[in-house]
């Protein structure tokens, strides 16, 4: 496993364990967990604590109609979705969104490309391809952004992020990420609100690129 220095915050791992984390962020957390033993251990602790709470919780009887509905759904034949394993640099959670296909890159300009994997009212997740030495336009955030490095690395005002590292961006962070020398930087990025770009051109193109 790579040497990871930037981890998922513990409250977010707790939300992931409880199933309350939005899907776009869950994709990043699941992908990071495939690299990081420390966060795997934290997840196990939260799952154990959650199991203990369920065992101690008071049982509540279901209404007859609801009980019948639940039992009927349990008896209904289930058609499971295909499960995709990790492939190349892409963790299983990413391959699940890709449905086993390679990324379908769309150009954003200056060699930067993206493939939007998921969007709903709670946020979006996308793959980003950034050539070595190329910068992402200076921006801040209207909400939360999680960026997980899958290949290469990037640096910004807060430090350097390599494979398996996650950068947490919020309303207080304004930065200009730059892909380091070497392999192109490929990241999985999830947001729950549009970014705030400083320059005019990225702002004009933002609705088109849905970022």
* Per-residue model confidence (pLDDT) at position 54: 61
Residues 6+ apart with CB under 8 A from 25: 12, 16, 123, 144, 146, 190, 192
* Per-residue model confidence (pLDDT) at position 124: 97
Helices 10-18 and 37-56 sit at what angle, rounded to 10 degrees? 50
* Per-residue model confidence (pLDDT) at position 1: 72
* Per-residue model confidence (pLDDT) at position 198: 87
Q: Which residues of the chain have pLDDT under 50?
A: none
* Per-residue model confidence (pLDDT) at position 57: 64
User: C-alpha distances in angstroms, 155 versus 53, 134, 136, 165?
Assistant: 41, 11, 11, 11
* Per-residue model confidence (pLDDT) at position 62: 62
The full set of domains in the chain, from first to last, is: 1-211 (2.60.120.10)
Region at 152 (left for phi over 0; alpha for psi -120 to 50; beta for the rest): left
pTM of the model: 0.86
* Per-residue model confidence (pLDDT) at position 206: 85
Cβ(146)–Cβ(15) below 8 Å: no
């Amino acid at each position: 496993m790579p040497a990871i220095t930037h981890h998922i915050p513990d409250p977010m791992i707790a939300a992931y364990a409880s199933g309350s984390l939005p899907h776009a962020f869950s994709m990043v957390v699941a992908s990071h967990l495939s690299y990081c033993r420390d966060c795997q251990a934290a997840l196990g602790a939260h799952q154990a604590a959650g199991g203990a709470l369920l065992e101690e919780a008071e049982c509540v009887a279901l209404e007859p109609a609801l009980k019948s509905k639940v039992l009927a759904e349990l008896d209904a034949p289930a058609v499971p979705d295909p499960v995709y394993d990790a492939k190349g640099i892409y963790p299983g959670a990413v391959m699940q969104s890709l449905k086993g296909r390679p990324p379908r890159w769309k150009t954003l300009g200056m060699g930067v490309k993206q493939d939007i994997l998921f969007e709903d009212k709670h946020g979006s997740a996308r793959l980003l391809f950034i050539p070595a030495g190329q910068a992402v336009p200076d921006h801040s955030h209207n909400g939360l952004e999680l960026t997980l490095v899958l290949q290469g690395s990037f640096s910004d005002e807060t430090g350097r992020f390599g494979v398996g590292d996650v950068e947490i961006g919020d309303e207080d962070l304004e930065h200009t990420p730059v892909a380091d020398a070497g392999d192109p930087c490929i990241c999985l990025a999830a947001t729950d609100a549009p970014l705030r770009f400083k320059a005019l051109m990225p702002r004009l193109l933002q609705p088109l690129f849905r970022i």
